[in-house]
Amino acid sequence: MDPIGKRRWAIAEGYIPPSSTDASYELKSHEAACILNAGDRLAQIEITIFFTDREPAGPYLLTVPPRRTCHLRFDELDNPEPIPVNTPYSSVIESTVPIVVQHTRLDSRQAALALLTTIAYAD
C-alpha cells in the first residue's frame, strides 16, 4: 500500500485531567495520539511537547512498524520526563515517513464521561 498522511503533525490543544472517577486503566483520564503507518517502511517518530510557561520537553521517541497503528497515551510518556497533569500543552509529531495522527482525550473526572477526538493539523 502506498503511504498516506503527512510527516509533520501538530496537536495545539493538550491537557491531561488530574483525576478520574474510576481507577481502572481503561477509564483513567488521559490524552492519546492514534498514529497510523499505512506504508511499507518503519516510521521513526519524535514528539516535542510545548508549554505556556517553560521550554519544550522532548524529544519523545517511538517507532510504528509498517502497516500498523499505535495508540500512544501521553500520560505514559516518561522519557525524557513525564508530561505533567493539570497543565496545558501542545505537541508536534514528526515522522520519517507519512503517517496519520488522530488526537483523543478521555476526561473521567465525573461520572458522565467525556470523550473528545479530532484529526491533528498536518503540515
Contact between residue 49 and residue 56 where contact means Cβ atoms under 8 Å apart: yes
Higher pLDDT, 111 or 86: 86
Q: What is the pLDDT of residue 91?
A: 96
Mean pLDDT for the chain overall: 87
- DSSP string covering 80-98: S-PPPTT--EEEEEEEEEE
Q: What is the pLDDT of residues 87-107, one digit of tens each?
A: 999 999 999 999 999 987 766
Q: What is the pLDDT of residue 44?
A: 98
Q: What is the pLDDT of residues 56-84, one digit of tens each?
A: 999 999 999 999 999 999 999 999 999 99
> Nearest CA to 15 among 52, 62, 58?
52
